[in-house]
Amino acid sequence: MTVALIVKWVASPGAHDDIADVLRTMRERSLSEPGCLSYDVYQSSDDPDEFMLVERYRDQLAVTEHSETAYFKEYVLGRALPALKSRQRGFYTPLET
């Protein structure tokens, strides 16, 4: 079943340009994964430190595979997380009609 991962990142003061660069790289690389259906990144119009990620994966296994890639470990765990003020994540599945 398709899984959506909705993530809100708030950059630490002065780190929003670095976070934006990380997210551009992550989007490009993630979209090459066979299990990644979409990877959209938004920056708040009101607060440049706030980012929203809307990621869709084929299934939960694809999410796990994504988090085990070398670039996820380098860019998200190594570069982004230390530069964030906060991070919220939620997993969602399609609403049955």
By the 10 Å C-beta count (0-12 exposed, 13-18 middle, 19+ buried), 30 is classed as: buried
Q: Which CATH architecture has domain 3-91?
A: 2-Layer Sandwich (3.30)
The owner of tokens 């765990």 is 77
pLDDT of residue 44: 98
Mean per-residue pLDDT for 42-71? 98
- From first CA to last CA, the distance across the chain in angstroms is 14
pTM of the model: 0.93
**pLDDT at position 96 over 80:** yes
Residue ranges per domain, the chain? 3-91
Read off the pLDDT of residues 36-55 as tens digits, 9 standing for 90 and up.
999 999 999 999 999 999 99
pLDDT band at 66 (very low <50, low <70, confident <90, very high): very high
Strand, helix or coil for residue 23: helix
What percentage of the chain exceeds 70 in pLDDT? 100
